[in-house]
Amino acid sequence: MDAKYRFGNGESENDNAAETRFYNAVDRLAEQTGAAIVMIHHSSKGSQSDKRVTDVGSGAGAQSRAADCHMVLREHEDDGVVVLDAVVRSFPPVEPVALKWEYPLWHLTEADTSLLKGKKTNQEQRQNEKDKEGTEQIIDAIRKEGPGTARVLRERTGISRERQQRLLDWLVSQKQLSTTKTTVRGNECNVYQLAQDTEF
């Protein structure tokens, strides 16, 4: 079935109930025909390198439990190379393999399967975790004690000036926070608030 979304009768692929009905229908088709059903599906948005195989496909979580096998191709750091990875329900685990396209076929290659394009280093993953913790601190501080300037928020969270400003800029860019202007001791500065609290 290529591509899967063309067989959904217009129902949302993000609806768990709809996905369950779809896979039940596929099960009936497989039973009636005695055929294996292979579905080609598109990935969710963003980098796929750090996701579990069963989470790569776009849509509701029901599909990750419904399929008997998930197989994905992910970009490798080397040009023209992909990593094939799979999860199977009723067989031993499958090790990922690297493939290189040489018309008209994919061929096995010795490339390191851990070197996925866009995959974060351990240091980057730790930094992301720290940043997530910091943004949660800022949002919690605003939610509990109300809007505040960068200085006020530093006093509430204990986050350093440079790091907090970077996190505040990111939260504003993601529309999780909004700003209004105020004057403190003759200096104009931003007041940060939860985006839904913005007054128009």
Give the tens place of pLDDT for each residue, 34-48.
999 999 998 877 777
Phi-psi region of 185 (alpha: psi -120 to 50; beta: other; left: phi over 0): left
Q: Average of pLDDT values for 138-162?
A: 95
Residue 136 pLDDT greater than 80, yes or no: yes
- Phi, psi for 189 (deg, rounded to 5): -150, 170
Residue with tokens 């190379």: 81
The structure tokens listed for 83 are 């990593």
Residue 120: what pLDDT? 66
CATH 1.10.10.10 assigned to domain 122-197? The reply is yes
- Phi, psi for 71 (deg, rounded to 5): -135, 130
Q: Residue 145 corresponds to which amino acid?
A: E
Residue ranges of the chain assigned to CATH 1.10.10.10:
122-197
Residue 125 pLDDT greater than 60, yes or no: yes
- For the stretch 167-190, pLDDT in tens is 999 899 888 999 999 998 888 999
Which residues, 6 or more positions from 28, have their beta carbon under 8 angstroms from its beta carbon? none
Confidence tier at 13 by pLDDT (50, 70, 90):
confident
- Cα gap 57→199, rounded to integer Å: 39
CA geometry: angle 58, 63, 65, nearest 5 deg: 135
